[in-house]
């Protein structure tokens, strides 16, 4: 009896020594990536199935170029834009299904929830789809990287450009949740900093069909610029109905603060022409982005990639690089390694990830082409200016992130 | 300028008018639902999907065949209505003897399938559909710019709603229909083909949904979930109006459109819950709805 117990104790001790020893390992010998996105509602064309396809391409490309022996699996799920649904999927993935990292997650409300869960469970969260700058501000986490864009960058790029060209009085149409509030707040700051004035704001529920009532209020404000602090289907509907109510003919202008390629596609150039906004990726930038766009379109029903889907691709590449380098899939360690290594991918070029989790790269102020200038579907943007990486995002010290010393 | 609760009266007029416009969509859709429920006892959860089909039908007619808005207003309801007839003949017919719930489940399942197929094919971000040239532009009414298309929506919807009410409540055909739902065996004994009448009624209800879909195509995005977003509200409208009451659903549709419009001015955050609050209140006081009859 005694000896049996002793053997067991020794075995346990040995086992412990092996797992906690210098040989870090990939859990379950598989790197499991979870793409959590809006698969069926207003943001599904921004991320959604296209993000899953982008993640697949990234894994494929990484295995080929690095001749890697990693075993990688991808799972995906629909968070339905509900933080509670997203949270329970994230928990299930981390606790039961062996998922090591979650990607994409458009919808800031869901993203902030997943951000916290990922930190508690010690996994990794590479966000592409959500906008709230709080992810690298007061909610920043050693387990999170915010890849593609954020509300500060949008506000700074679009808002700054518009105020400087004379659009100095603003009225906001704001989506009533974490994302809209953050975008409104960040844009208001930029407007005021550049000497503009905010005349008012109205908050509409997420996924609203009819904006005419809100547009009428915006019209009544006499503001020169109506800032659309919303996204996806909400932005499309606001722009479409603003045209109908003669807002632009009446002398007011729309500022789409967050517009994606898929939104322009849904609006048609007749309605969307002349819109100015900020993106960090456009498929027609160079040969590499064009090649990627063709491949993704082939895998995603002919739809060209949005910046969110491009961000998922680049994020997966860099994540796998880091996992392989330290031979571990432990969340905080991988993210630390991701921050240590400069990024280099075909879509965003060379860049870095800061201590607060912010991935930095250049941004582009784009203008939507007139129908006569476009050569066909998806030929939509003219690049007006390139905003250099060091000016595109909020300075690290201003975000209030506790990781920044 | 005079003000009511801090809002200039002029702005308020504008909001009232917009409320009426949205109300006319609610009225059109709830009318179809009320007809189908009142005469077939089927809770048609596929109504939203059929509304979406109408909009897509208009979109496809324009982009594949070059057929414009006015013809689409005629063709889309016929095509989608015919599809409704097929659904009724093949599936719904089997369920009349069973509880309401079975019809609800079947149509709900159908709605999910139809929406899924379209999402797969067209994605979720919506397709553009231009306003037909005759109806573009807007008029300055002094207190607001009224887009001509929106004025047309009110007029067309009122005409259809009142026409339907008239046919069902005031004509011989309507009398047959109502009699057939009360006592099908007796009406059949008078030599009237009741099953065919029921089939056509369902087809008509579905065609109404498709008609609303074509009306909506130029102002909302033509997207697979456009109906799913609206159908819940429309069901609330029908419940408040009284399940199956045709005039009830028309009046409630317009009324709730106005109330929702005003909420968007005074407390916009609540604009998509206000209808459900009203529904809860109405159900507490009058469980059969405002215009429904207690059975």
pLDDT digits (tens, 9 = 90+) for B103-161: 889 999 999 999 989 888 887 777 888 888 888 777 777 777 788 888 899 999 999 99
Closest CB to A42: pick one of B124, B127, B220. B124
Burial A83-106 (b: 16+ CB within 10 A, else e): bebbbebbeebbeeebbbbbbbbb
Does an H or E element contain A313, and which? helix A307-326
Q: Cβ A265–B125 below 8 Å, yes or no?
A: yes
| Cβ-defined contacts of A85-89 (< 8 Å, 24+) | A85/A110, A86/A36, A86/A110, A86/A113, A86/A114, A87/A113, A87/A114, A87/A117, A89/A34, A89/A36
Task: Tell me what percent of the residues of chain B surpass a pLDDT of 90.
Answer: 26
Q: Cβ B124–A250 below 8 Å, yes or no?
A: no
In degrees and rounded to multiples of 5, residue A294 shows phi and psi of -65, -40
CA distances, A50 to each of A40, A43, A216, A232, B124 (Å): 12, 11, 36, 15, 12
Half-sphere exposure of A62 (CA within 13 A, CB side): 26
Q: What confidence tier does B266 reach under pLDDT thresholds 50, 70, 90?
A: confident
- Chain B residues whose CB is inside 8 A of the A217 CB are 11, 265
Q: Which of A52, A215, A216 is most worth mutating to test chain B (most B CB atoms within 10 A of its CB)?
A: A216
State both tokens at B30: 């709830």
Q: Give me the numbers of helices (H) and strands (E) for chain A, helices first please.
A: 15, 15
Distance from CA of A265 to the nearest CA of B (A): 8
Which of B:127-156 have CB within 8 Å of A? 127-128, 130-131, 137-138, 144-145, 147, 149-150
Half-sphere exposure of A188 (CA within 13 A, CB side): 15
Distance from CA of A167 to the nearest CA of B (A): 23
Half-sphere exposure of A347 (CA within 13 A, CB side): 31
- Chain B residues whose CB is inside 8 A of the A301 CB are 120-121, 123
Q: Which of A39, A184, A209 is most worth mutating to test chain B (most B CB atoms within 10 A of its CB)?
A: A209
- Chain B residues whose CB is inside 8 A of the A256 CB are none
Which of A:55-74 have CB within 8 Å of B? none
Query: How high is the pLDDT of residue A376?
Result: 86
- Chain B residues whose CB is inside 8 A of the A303 CB are 123
Q: Could you report the per-residue pLDDT of B156-195, keeping only the tens digit for each?
A: 999 999 998 899 888 988 888 888 877 878 888 888 888 8
Query: How high is the pLDDT of residue A1?
Result: 44
Determine how β-strand A363-368 pairs with β-strand A381-387. antiparallel
Query: How high is the pLDDT of residue B1?
Result: 47
Distance from CA of B21 to the nearest CA of A (A): 10
Question: Cβ of B139: how many Cβ atoms within 10 Å?
Answer: 12
Q: Cβ A244–B230 below 8 Å, yes or no?
A: no
Query: How high is the pLDDT of residue A129?
Result: 94
State both tokens at A181: 């509030």
Residue pair A331/A118 in contact (Cβ under 8 Å)? The answer is yes
Residues in chain A: 405
Mark the ranges of chain A whose per-residue pLDDT is less than 50.
Answer: 1-3, 6-23
Residue pair A341/A330 in contact (Cβ under 8 Å)? The answer is no
* Beta carbon pairs, A and B, within 8 Å: 115
Q: Which of A40, A43, A44, A213 is most worth mutating to test chain B (most B CB atoms within 10 A of its CB)?
A: A213
A128 touches chain B (CB under 8 A): no
Q: Where are the beta strands (DSSP E) in B162-259?
A: none
Mean pLDDT of the residues in chain B: 86
Closest CB to B124: pick one of A41, A208, A214. A41
Which of A:198-237 have CB within 8 Å of B? 202-205, 207-210, 212-214, 216-217, 219-220, 232-233, 236-237
Q: Which residue has the higher pLDDT, B282 or A16?
A: B282
Least confident range of A23-32, A73-82, B54-63, B197-206: A23-32
Q: Cβ B261–A42 below 8 Å, yes or no?
A: no
Q: Which of B13, B18, B123 is most worth mutating to test chain A (most A CB atoms within 10 A of its CB)?
A: B123
- Chain A residues whose CB is inside 8 A of the B8 CB are 220
Residue pair A75/A33 in contact (Cβ under 8 Å)? The answer is yes
Closest CB to A245: pick one of B19, B130, B138. B138
Residue pair A339/A329 in contact (Cβ under 8 Å)? The answer is no
Which of B:270-289 have CB within 8 Å of A? 271-272
Query: Please, which residues have CB within 8 angstroms of residue B223's CB and are 6 or more apart in sequence?
Result: A233, A266, B52, B122, B124, B125, B126, B127
State both tokens at A371: 């129908």
Closest CB to A216: pick one of B130, B131, B144. B144
State both tokens at A362: 């250049």
B261 touches chain A (CB under 8 A): yes
Query: How high is the pLDDT of residue A16?
Result: 43
Give the whole-angstrom CA distance, residue A114 versus residue A178. 14
Query: Please, which residues have CB within 8 angstroms of residue B108's CB and are 6 or more apart in sequence?
Result: B45, B46
Place of tokens 């064009």: A290
Give me the mean pLDDT over the B35-56 stretch. Answer: 88
Q: Cβ A262–B125 below 8 Å, yes or no?
A: yes
Q: Cβ A240–B145 below 8 Å, yes or no?
A: no
CA angle at B57 for the pair B56 and B60, rounded to the nearest 5°: 85
Give me the mean pLDDT over the B3-15 stretch. Answer: 70
Closest CB to B125: pick one of A45, A202, A270. A45
Query: How high is the pLDDT of residue A372?
Result: 93
- Chain B residues whose CB is inside 8 A of the A210 CB are 18, 22, 219-220
Distance from CA of B81 to the nearest CA of A (A): 25
Query: How high is the pLDDT of residue B294?
Result: 58
B24 touches chain A (CB under 8 A): no
Which of A:23-42 have CB within 8 Å of B? 40-42
State both tokens at A102: 């979650």
């Amino acid at each position: 009896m005694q000896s049996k117990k002793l053997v067991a104790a020794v075995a346990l001790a040995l086992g412990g020594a092996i797992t906690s020893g210098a040989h870090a390992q990939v859990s379950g010998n598989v790197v499991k990536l979870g793409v959590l996105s809006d698969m069926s509602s207003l943001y599904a064309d921004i991320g959604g199935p296209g993000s899953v396809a982008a993640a697949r391409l990234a894994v494929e490309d990484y295995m080929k170029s690095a001749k890697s022996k990693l075993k990688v699996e991808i799972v995906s799920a629909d968070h339905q834009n509900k933080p509670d649904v997203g949270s329970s999927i994230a928990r299930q993935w981390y606790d039961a299904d062996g998922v090591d990292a979650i990607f994409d997650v458009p919808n800031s409300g869901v993203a902030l929830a997943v951000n916290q869960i990922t930190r508690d469970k010690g996994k990794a969260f590479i966000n592409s789809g959500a906008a709230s700058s709080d992810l690298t501000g007061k909610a920043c986490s050693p387990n999170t990287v915010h890849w593609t864009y954020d509300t500060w960058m949008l506000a700074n790029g679009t808002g700054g450009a518009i105020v400087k060209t004379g659009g100095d009085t603003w009225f906001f149409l704001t989506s009533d949740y974490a994302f809209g509030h953050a975008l409104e707040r960040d844009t208001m700051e930029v407007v005021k900093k550049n000497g503009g004035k905010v005349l008012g704001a109205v908050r509409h529920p997420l996924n609203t069909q009819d904006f005419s009532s809100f547009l009428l209020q915006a019209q009544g404000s006499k503001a020169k610029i109506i800032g659309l602090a919303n996204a996806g289907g909400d932005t499309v509907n606001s722009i479409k109905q603003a045209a109908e109510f003669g807002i632009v003919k009446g002398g007011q202008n729309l500022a789409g603060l967050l517009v994606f390629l898929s939104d322009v596609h849904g609006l048609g150039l007749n309605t969307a022409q002349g819109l100015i906004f900020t993106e960090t990726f456009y498929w027609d930038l160079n040969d590499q982005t064009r090649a990627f766009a063709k491949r993704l379109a082939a895998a995603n029903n002919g739809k060209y990639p949005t910046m969110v889907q491009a961000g998922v691709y680049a994020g997966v590449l860099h994540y796998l690089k880091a996992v392989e380098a330290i031979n571990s899939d432990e969340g905080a360690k991988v993210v630390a390694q991701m921050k240590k290594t400069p990024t280099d991918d075909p879509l965003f070029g060379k860049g870095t990830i800061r201590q607060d989790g912010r991935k930095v790269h250049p941004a582009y102020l784009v203008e939507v082409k007139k129908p006569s200038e476009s050569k066909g579907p998806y030929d939509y943007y003219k690049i007006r200016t390139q905003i250099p990486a060091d000016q595109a995002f909020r300075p690290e010290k201003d975000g209030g992130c506790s990781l920044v010393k | 300028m005079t003000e009511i609760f801090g809002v200039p009266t002029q702005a308020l007029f504008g909001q009232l008018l917009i409320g009426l416009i949205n109300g006319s969509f609610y009225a059109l859709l709830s009318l179809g639902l009320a007809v189908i429920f009142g005469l077939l006892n089927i809770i048609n959860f596929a109504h939203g999907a059929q509304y979406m089909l109408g909009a897509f039908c208009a979109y496809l007619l324009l982009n594949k065949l070059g057929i414009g808005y006015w013809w689409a207003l005629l063709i889309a309801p016929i095509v989608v209505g015919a599809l409704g007839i097929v659904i009724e003949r093949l599936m719904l017919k089997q369920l009349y003897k069973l509880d309401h719930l079975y019809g609800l489940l079947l149509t709900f399942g159908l709605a999910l399938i139809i929406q899924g197929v379209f999402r797969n094919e067209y994605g979720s971000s919506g397709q553009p559909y231009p306003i037909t040239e005759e109806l573009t532009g807007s008029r300055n009414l002094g207190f607001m710019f009224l887009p001509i298309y929106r004025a047309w929506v009110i007029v067309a919807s009122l005409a259809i709603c009142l026409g339907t009410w008239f046919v069902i409540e005031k004509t011989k055909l309507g009398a047959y229909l109502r009699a057939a739902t009360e006592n099908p065996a007796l009406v059949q004994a008078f030599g009237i083909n009741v099953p065919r009448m029921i089939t056509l009624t369902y087809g008509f209800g579905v065609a109404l949904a498709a008609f609303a879909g074509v009306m909506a195509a130029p102002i909302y995005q033509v997207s697979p979930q456009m109906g799913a977003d609206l159908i819940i509200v429309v069901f609330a409208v029908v419940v408040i109006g009284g399940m199956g009451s045709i005039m009830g659903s028309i009046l409630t549709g317009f009324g709730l459109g106005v109330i929702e419009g005003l909420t968007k001015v005074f407390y916009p955050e609540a604009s998509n819950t206000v209808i459900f609050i009203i529904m809860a209140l109405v159900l507490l006081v009058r469980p059969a709805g405002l215009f429904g009859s207690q059975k």
